[in-house]
Structure 1
Amino acid sequence: MRGLEHLLAATDLSHAAMNAAHRAAGISKLTGASLDLFHAVNLSGLDRLRRMAPGIPADLDERLTAQPLEEMRRLAADLSERHGAAVGVRVGIGPASVQIDTQAAALPADLMVLGDRGAGALSRLVLGSTAARMAETASCSVLIVKRPPSEPYRSVLVPVDFSSNSLPALRTALAVAPECRIALFHAYGVPFEGKLRAAGIREELLEQYRAAERTAAFADMRRLCQAAGLAEHAASLVALRGPVLLRILELEKERNCDLIVMGRHGEGTPLERVFLASVTKQVLAQSQADVLISAGE
């Protein structure tokens, strides 16, 4: 990924969205990327309301748009004052998920930044529907902010599977958090290990296979670092056996990670894609750290 040029922070003016806006402003200041705030106003029920109540003012749609626009301008001014970053303001009419991606494509944005929860009681219980949808389908990389930002990212975990998405994910991590401590992680295992054991393959031989897979994982991670222009000593390389989701969450806690960066998976068999997408969704749902889904190059 080239250096960041354009950021789009989508906000519904909720508390979680404010965290995302402040994180985006911090990244903008750190990287020099431009930043636009965006708010979608959904007026889909207004025509029906007019039919039911003919006395509604003709300019109600302008009024409904003016209020959030003014709030957005105040937020932009506050972000500029606190972070020293120039912040633009955009408002769109229509469903949030559609409008956000349309705006991101129009910029075009390198990174979309959203809060993990929207306004409303239900959205506080689960990952916000807009955030979840954008993480899966957005035309650019997506950063889901879960924590109030207090400083630039310091400890970043990048799980890799050595597909074509791994290098872009690492490059995205370096672009968003150039001052961070970075750890690459690969969950390795022996293919068909259970079947091999059932077929009578000795444990000593299986252990040799595991050692070979572990050695290959470290070699592949070193090659990724080299391709990303990252000095080997500047990154921690971690290869562990076991369920990938569990290991990611364990490493997040052990290393006190404030950001996890994962590639968006579009390769492999349909079953593999479903599994990898499921892991990403579970990381989004269960991690405490912010999560960045890299769209690739």
Structure 2
Amino acid sequence: MRIQSIVALTDFSTAGELALDRAALLAAAHQARLHILFGAETPHPRFTDPQARLEQRARQLARRHGLPVQALEHRGGSVAGEALRAAAGADLLVMDRRPPAGMAGLLGGSMLARVLRASSCPVLVVQQPVHGAYAHVLVAVDFSAASDALVRYAGGLEAAAAVELFHAADRRCESTAQALRDYRHEVRRQAQGRRVRLSDVFEARRNRVGMAVGAGDRARQLAVQQESAGADLVALAHRRRGLLGDLLRGRATRRVLDGVGCDVLVYPQDYPGTQARAQSAVARRWTEAT
């Protein structure tokens, strides 16, 4: 998996600049085009000409990382709308997490929530200082086809990182409990036969892959596993919904963002090409376990 185009959003705050730094590192690793965009829900008196500041940051990042960086112009729409427009057709949108602003934010959710409801590409939410490439990626999986594509994408995002596949199942559901038992049996059988190979999972073969299974609330289990493993990136699939569906059923992703102390990659379940990407042998075995 190779990322060719990355869009990063900043408001020049400390958190926004971390998003730019992370996006630049990933763009350099993939030799991708980097597009950066300024977006602030409230004007900042320090930046009378934010576009000029953005173009300066583009030149700085280009020199530092040796890659093409373009400063995009804000066309006057909402921050979420501008971010979605810029990311249309991109392979990744990188942004920080910021609290809701004003009554509109309280009614419609945070700007991030609005982006996640509509983004057609994966969104990387940066929540921690950037100290280098990701070292340990924790991927939340289930028995769906979306997990197949998520594993490939997350594993290819940082080719040298250790990758841990984590499944949290609800023991109260008998069908899920049976699938969990089958999954554990299959993992054990593969480990004994030494047939879980990296080439079965990723095109980039430098990853170290581990598997873990938990039971209970997924968001809570992911937070516990992330802290225990010391993962610096959590990746999960996200079902895009409208505002009402997000308010009623879309809280799992927000709870993961609240619960983990690291960056979070949110992968749309209907991301274009998901079915075409779902070809790994290990992923097929997960599906067969159901």
Q: Taking structure 2 as the reference length, what is the TM-score of the superposition?
A: 0.75
Structure 1 residue 87 and structure 2 residue 69: aligned?
yes
Could you say which residue in structure 1 is the equivalent of 2:84? 101
Q: For 1:255-270, what aligned pairs fall within 5 Å after superposition?
A: 255-265=229-239
Write the letter of the residue equivalent to 1:136: R
Q: Secondary structure at the match of 1:279?
A: helix
Deviation at 1:220, TM superposition (A): 10
Write the letter of the residue equivalent to 1:156: V
Q: Secondary structure at the match of 1:165?
A: helix
Q: Secondary structure at the match of 1:13?
A: coil
Could you say which residue in structure 2 is the equivalent of 1:24? 23
Distance 1:170 1:213, change over 3 A: closer
Write the letter of the residue equivalent to 1:293: V
Distance 1:187 1:10, change over 3 A: same
Could you say which residue in structure 2 is the equivalent of 1:292? 265
Deviation at 1:85, TM superposition (A): 2.5
Could you say which residue in structure 2 is the equivalent of 1:186? 167
Deviation at 1:165, TM superposition (A): 1.2
Separation in 2, partners of 1:235, 1:224: 7
Q: Secondary structure at the match of 1:8?
A: strand
Q: Secondary structure at the match of 1:77?
A: helix
Separation in 2, partners of 1:264, 1:84: 33
Deviation at 1:14, TM superposition (A): 1.6
Post-superposition CA distance 1:168-205 (Å, at most 9, x none): 21121123211110000112344545xxxxxxxxxxxx
Distance 1:70 1:278, change over 3 A: same
Structure 1 residue 278 and structure 2 residue 260: aligned?
no
Post-superposition CA distance 1:36-72 (Å, at most 9, x none): 10124779xxxxxxxxxxxxxxxxxxxxx98111110
Separation in 2, partners of 1:242, 1:114: 30
Separation in 2, partners of 1:220, 1:243: 27
Distance 1:210 1:237, change over 3 A: closer
Deviation at 1:148, TM superposition (A): 1.6
Verify the 8 A CA contact 2:162 2:207 in the aligned structure 1. no
Cα RMSD, aligned residues only: 3.8
Q: For 1:193-272, what aligned pairs fall within 5 Å after superposition?
A: 211-212=181-182, 214-216=184-186, 226=200, 228-229=202-203, 234-265=208-239
Write the letter of the residue equivalent to 1:75: R
Deviation at 1:137, TM superposition (A): 2.0
Post-superposition CA distance 1:130-181 (Å, at most 9, x none): 2222123211110000112110011100010121210121121123211110
Deviation at 1:86, TM superposition (A): 2.1
Verify the 8 A CA contact 1:16 1:118 in the aligned structure 2. no
Structure 1: 5+ residue runs without aligned partners? 44-64, 123-127, 194-205
Deviation at 1:242, TM superposition (A): 2.5
Verify the 8 A CA contact 2:124 2:265 in the aligned structure 1. yes
Verify the 8 A CA contact 1:10 1:100 in the aligned structure 2. yes
Structure 1 residue 154 and structure 2 residue 135: aligned?
yes
Could you say which residue in structure 2 is the equivalent of 1:55? none
Distance 1:66 1:89, change over 3 A: farther
Q: Secondary structure at the match of 1:235?
A: strand
Q: Taking structure 1 as the reference length, what is the TM-score of the superposition?
A: 0.73
Q: Secondary structure at the match of 2:150?
A: helix
Q: Which has the greater radius of gyration?
A: 1
Separation in 2, partners of 1:288, 1:192: 30
Q: Secondary structure at the match of 1:91?
A: coil
* Comparing 155-164 and 71-80, the one that deviates more: 71-80
Deviation at 1:83, TM superposition (A): 2.5
Distance 1:112 1:292, change over 3 A: same
Separation in 1, partners of 2:123, 2:143: 21
Q: Secondary structure at the match of 1:109?
A: coil
Verify the 8 A CA contact 2:19 2:126 in the aligned structure 1. yes
Separation in 2, partners of 1:189, 1:118: 31
Separation in 2, partners of 1:19, 1:243: 30
Separation in 2, partners of 1:137, 1:175: 24
